[in-house]
Structure 1
Amino acid sequence: MRSFLSTVLIVLVAVLTPLSALAVWADREIGDTDGYVTAMAPLASDRDVEDAVADRVTDEVMKEFATSDAADEVRSLVHDAVLSFAGTDAYRTAWNTVNQAAHTAVEKALTSYEGETASVDLAPVIEQLKAQLSKDGVPYAHEIPVGDATITVLDHDTLGSAREVFDTLQLAGVWLPLLTLLLMLSVLLVARHRLPELALSLAAGGLLLLLAVALARFLALNDLPLRVNRPAADAAFDALTATLRLTAWCLMTAGVLVAALVRRGRRRRAGARPAVGAGSGVEDSVPHTAS
């Protein structure tokens, strides 16, 4: 009976481990503004995102110079200036600002059915760029418009049923991880000798988590509208799920390592045990025949 119960608990741990990681991620990273901004911060130095921002800002600026004889010159100047500006502290600060503002839209896109598409408004970036170029004496810099210039982070129509899963996991919060921890402790209480199997169940949970992230990436990014910059969307998804992938690899590595070490230790202890009858003095008790 104990063997069956421990097996059921071990299987539950393997299933609940990736769900627990997703619940914590949904609650503490996506559901929290500071966590979201921190997750998106590395994109400030991502080349694909920099190109997407440069293209979007340049397109917005060129609306004011479409009929100008200097249009080509201005386009090249602005595009190069944005890419150069992208390496500055001012750009990173502006990037964090726009993501802080975008967090509400991202969370709403993941949890609601109101047709919301999460976008990042690049107006603060353009404002910083305009000020920097004007300061450097770049021609036409003072004429750069600061209007609505957005890039899409998440498209509502591509989320589908994943929205229900995310909403449920976000509500689960820390309760699901606590339940998983209690199940792990239960396994150790019921059948402590099954620690290697428990460790491997954590590794299996990490593998399931990695597969879940890969599947979500395919479903979310496979059929994006033409208005969405695919490389930038890929980078945004990878930034948002970086913690999940790291957690998955840690679970797999730790699980396999613990299982291997426990089994190795048991084999060593078994090999060190004396054979039955060894050193028992049986030979000494046999009487010797006098010669």
Structure 2
Amino acid sequence: MRSFLSTASALLIVLVAVLTPLSALAVWVDREIGDTDSYVATMEPLASDSRVQNAVAVRITDEVKKRIDAYPFQESVESLVRDAVLSFAGTAAFKTVWNTVNRAAHTAVEDALAEGGDSAVSIDLAPVTERVKQQLADENVPFVDQIPVEHTRITILESGKLGTVRDVFHGLRIAGLWLPLATVLIAAGGVLLAVRRMRALVGLGLALAAGAVLLRIAVSVWRGLALDDLPPDVDRPAAAAVYDALTATLRTAAWWVLAAGLALALAAWLADRRRPARAARAARVARAA
């Protein structure tokens, strides 16, 4: 019986190591990616990121280059547009517009992850282009009336290339917050079934630490795969900034769980080592009495 309980306890604790990163991902999917306000709040700091600002400026300038024939002033007009976009990107108004376009894009991101399809998910930069066009018009820049406002977009996701990621997202979305709860119950069961509970707590702490390491590795691996699979016209530095912003809470969670797991393992190990000494002192006191 003791052998059976020890084996069952060990298996449950090992399972905790596997479920820990999945639980973190489930909470992330439910609370951050699945919630519009949280998604917009996560993307908001990118409005001040120079990589994103540069990508927006390049995209709008490229669209202007395709639509306007201002020879021999082509380069001057393009330079003015680019400078105007970068100037607008440093204002509070740009942050407001950035939040608005990301709120509109969130539904498309969810649909791409949940349902699939072969279309690209993009952010509509029309509100930014409209503000820049107005700014240039106020400065009496020539050819400004030819600047296109529609169809100026920046791709953030290729929905046709998600494959396994979509399946994982769908599964985690279904699991929701039940998966973290199940992980807690399994961890408690692993400790309660153990013959030597302090040692089980040491194992649980190490399992949590191992799960945190797995989560951190997964985030890094997915980052490389996501950036390597980007279309050639997507700005990689900006895409990296978006990915890092979206996964920032996962990286933070990994470090916290790692620290908590190691602290639990160390505390339980020290407590387990003190038990024989306490037992010996108690025996000496009993004999002396």
The letter for the 2-side match of 1:109 is A
Q: Partner of 2:262 in structure 1?
A: 256
Return the alpha-carbon distance in structure 2 between the equivalents of residues 222 and 145 of structure 1: 31
Q: Distance in 2 between matches of 1:269 and 1:161?
A: 49
How far residue 179 of structure 1 moved from its aligned partner, in angstroms, is 0.5
- Report the TM-score, using the length of structure 1 for normalisation: 0.88
Show structure 2 runs of 5+ residues with no match. Answer: none
What's 2:89 paired with? 86
The question of whether the paired residues in 2 share the 8 Å contact of 1:130 and 1:141 is answered with no
Asked whether the 8 Å contact 1:90–1:128 carries over to 2, the reply is no
Of 6, 9, 17, the residue aligned with 1:6 is 9
Deviation of the 1:277 alpha carbon? 4.4
Indicate conservation of the 8 Å contact 1:13/1:180, yes or no: yes
What is the one-letter code of the residue matched to 1:256?
A: L
Q: What are the superposed Cα offsets for residues 244-287 of structure 1, whole Å, 9 maximum, x if unpaired?
A: 111111111111122123323443565565386479559xxxxx
What's the RMSD between the two structures over aligned residues? 2.2
**Partner Cα distance (2:226, 2:144) in 1:** 40
| TM-score normalised by L of structure 2 | 0.89
Partner residue of 1:209 out of 212, 215, 221: 215
Matched, 1:274 2:276: no
1:139 to 138, 141, 150: 141
Letter of the aligned partner of 1:177 in structure 2? P
The count of aligned residue pairs is: 281
Question: How far off is 1:148 after superposition?
Answer: 1.4
Report the CA distance between 1:156 and its aligned residue. Answer: 2.1
Deviations 1:13-61 (A, max 9, x none): 1111111111111122111111211121121122211111000111223
Q: Which digits, 9 at most, give the CA deviation of each residue in 1:215-237, with x for residues without a partner?
A: 22222221322122222112111
Map 1:17-96 → 2, pairs under 5 A? 17-96=20-99
Q: Point out where structure 1 has 5 or more consecutive residues left out of the alignment.
A: 283-291
**Which has more radius of gyration?**
1
Structure 2: distance between partners of 1:183 and 1:132? 60
Between the aligned residues of both structures, percent identity stands at 53
In 2, the alpha carbon distance for the partners of 1:85 and 1:235 equals: 20
Contact 2:116 2:160 survives alignment (8 Å)? no
Q: How far apart are residue 133 of structure 1 and its match?
A: 4.3
Question: Larger % of helix: which?
Answer: 2
